[in-house]
Structure 1
Amino acid sequence: MSSYDPATDAPETPADPSVPGSQRARVGTVVWGLIVLALAALIIISRLGIVTLNGTYVLIGLMIGAGAALVIGGLLSARGRDKETTTGKS
């Protein structure tokens, strides 16, 4: 008689994004990650001498892009939350 249960050794399945309570990437995290990647790419391009960049214009462009991405991402996130069914509890 063995106490081995193969079901307990099975790997966990990843969280289903359609299930309430599952973890999804936050919009702010994605936007800040893209900002860091864009800055790194611009620094590499400027150091290679491919193009010369004005730091002020680069920062203004990144801030406009990041602000737009945060607003659009927030609106899309809110629209996705509105589709979920409510339980009627407040």
Structure 2
Amino acid sequence: MSSFDPAPETTPVPKPSAGGQDEPAEAPARIGTIVWGLVVLALAVLIVISQLGIVVLNGTYVLIGLMIGAGAALVAGGLLAARKRDNGTTNGKS
């Protein structure tokens, strides 16, 4: 074989996966994580606003409002997730 001969064609060999299993797809963000993150963010913003003296906030009312909003968001998110999950076909069994 001289230095002017083209390199022989080879086909790439697929690498075997560990344990013969495919890697799982990334899971979507969970509803509870998003809602509680928004609650913490809202609470932080309200604390900053109250410390700046822009408005005077009653802590009890703020917490009640945040808990009502978080509860409503968790219920709505759970219903949407259940609705999304139940779109598969049924096999006729209960």
TM-score w.r.t. length of structure 1: 0.71
Question: Which of 51, 55, 74 is residue 55 of structure 2 equivalent to?
Answer: 51
Cα-to-partner distance string for 1:46-82 (whole Å, 9 max, x where unaligned): 0110000000000000000000000000000000001
CA distance in 2, matches of 1:21, 1:80: 18
- What letter is aligned with 1:53? L
CA distance in 1, matches of 2:89, 2:33: 26
CA distance in 1, matches of 2:84, 2:27: 14
When the two chains are superposed, the root-mean-square deviation of aligned CA atoms in Å is 3.0
Write 1 or 2 for the structure with the bigger share of helix: 1
Structure with larger Rg: 2
Deviation (angstroms), 1:83: 1.1
Residue 31 of structure 2 corresponds to: 27
CA distance in 2, matches of 1:21, 1:69: 26
CA distance in 1, matches of 2:42, 2:25: 32
Gaps of 5+ in 2: 1-6, 16-23
CA distance in 1, matches of 2:77, 2:37: 14
Q: Please say if 1:73 is aligned against 2:77.
A: yes
- What letter is aligned with 2:84? G
User: Larger relative contact order (C-alpha < 8 A, sep ≥ 6)?
Assistant: 2
Aligned-residue identity in percent: 72
Gaps of 5+ in 1: 9-19
Q: 1:22 to 1:70 in 2, by over 3 A?
A: same
